[in-house]
Amino acid sequence: MTFRDLVYQQTRRIPKGKVATYGQIARLAKKPKAARAVGVFMRANPFAPEVPCHRVVAADGSLNGYFGLQKLPKKKEMLLKEGVIFKGEKVDLSKSLWQETH
């Protein structure tokens, strides 16, 4: 299984109402320093919505990478609809970060 496959596999596990960070997905896919690569894979995700790339956010809870700035309101709307909690424009990671189990 390639790193890309592992990234998509881990992203599929993020439940509705939760988010993961790019770094968290990189760690779960066994390449902890490859958060940027995870971002590239999310941006080019051919498996949406089965692979919910909108549930992957920056380490500080900010939204990015969702087909550029014009689509960020759509990403936020999708996350709010799923029950993700925000503080201003950032996801409240203390409440909405996915605590993965192995």
- Domains belonging to the chain, first-starting first, are 3-96 (1.10.10.10)
pLDDT tens-digit readout, 51-80: 999 999 999 999 986 555 567 788 899 999
Residues 6+ apart with CB under 8 A from 52: 11, 12, 14
Region 29-58 average pLDDT = 94
Closest CA to 51 of 25, 84, 88, 76: 25
DSSP E strand stretches across 1-102:
20-21, 56-57, 86-87, 90-91
| Confidence bin at 21 (pLDDT 50/70/90) | very high
% of the chain exceeding 90 in pLDDT = 80
The residues assigned a catalytic role are: 53
Mean pLDDT score across all residues of the chain: 92
Residue 67: what pLDDT? 56
